[in-house]
Amino acid sequence: MTICERVIAVLQEAEGPLCDDHVKERAGLKWRQLAYKACSKLARDKKANRWQEAEACVDCRREKIHREKYVTTWREGGRYASLEKRTKLETRSWYWEGNVQQHIADWLAAQGYEIVSQADTVSRKQGPDIVARKNEDEMWVSVKGYPEGKDPTQARHYFADAVLGLLLDHHKRPDVTLALGFPRIGRTYTGLAGRVRWLRERFPFTIYWVHKSGEVEMG
């Protein structure tokens, strides 16, 4: 049995995401680097989901936190979220940021992108919400949801924060393709997107719109 086959068996049996350390232990590998390489290859082959998220491994839980801790899950039914994560997402409104982020990540994966990492929406860690790569192109996507149970005008602040983050990301990494993601609900986001069309003419970026059905549209 190859190392990848051993890792596949481990991921299929796991009840949630596993960090590289515990993939190594469960698969009986000698070095952690072997688990890292195998999980990365499975992600590139679109057989597993791999992202950076602290405290997500079902084995170590809160016992340790890595600054850049990769976790991996087996890809089921063409979807990139683990069953545990998917269940949590489905309990929230479709326009919640975590759901919008996941739909965009799934759509990008279907277009041939490797999902390098996804942010933990609950922890609100700084940085791009989705990092995706296709060939030599790396894309950073910043995602915003629609206010849940709050004044809808809060969406204006979400939009402004997303655009500011986009400009700061461009200053930090001008070589990276940038994009924003929003739920297509109400008129606030679409109206504001129309009003910054001039900015997109000077500084090209993509906007991904997520519909209630889960369909993703480029705008």
Domain limits of the chain? 1-77, 92-219
| Three-state DSSP class for residue 73 | strand
Percent of the chain with pLDDT strictly greater than 70: 81
What does the pLDDT average to over 183-207? 92
Which has more confidence, 16 or 157?
A: 157
Q: What is the CATH number of domain 92-219?
A: 3.40.1350.10
Residue with tokens 């195998």: 38
Q: How would you class 50 by CB atoms within 10 Å of its CB: exposed for 0-12, middle for 13-18, buried for 19 or more?
A: buried
Please, are residues 21 and 71 in contact by the beta-carbon 8 Å criterion?
no
Q: What is the mean pLDDT of residues 154-170?
A: 92
C-alpha to C-alpha distance for 45 and 75, rounded to whole angstroms: 11
pTM: 0.61
* Contact by Cβ (8 Å): 78, 133: no
Helix (H, G, I), strand (E, B) or coil at 137: strand
CATH class of 1-77: mainly alpha
Q: Are 172 and 120 in contact (CB under 8 A)?
A: no
Please determine, for residue 121, whether its predicted confidence score (pLDDT) is greater than 80: no
* 186 pLDDT more than 70: yes
Radius of gyration of the chain (CA): 18
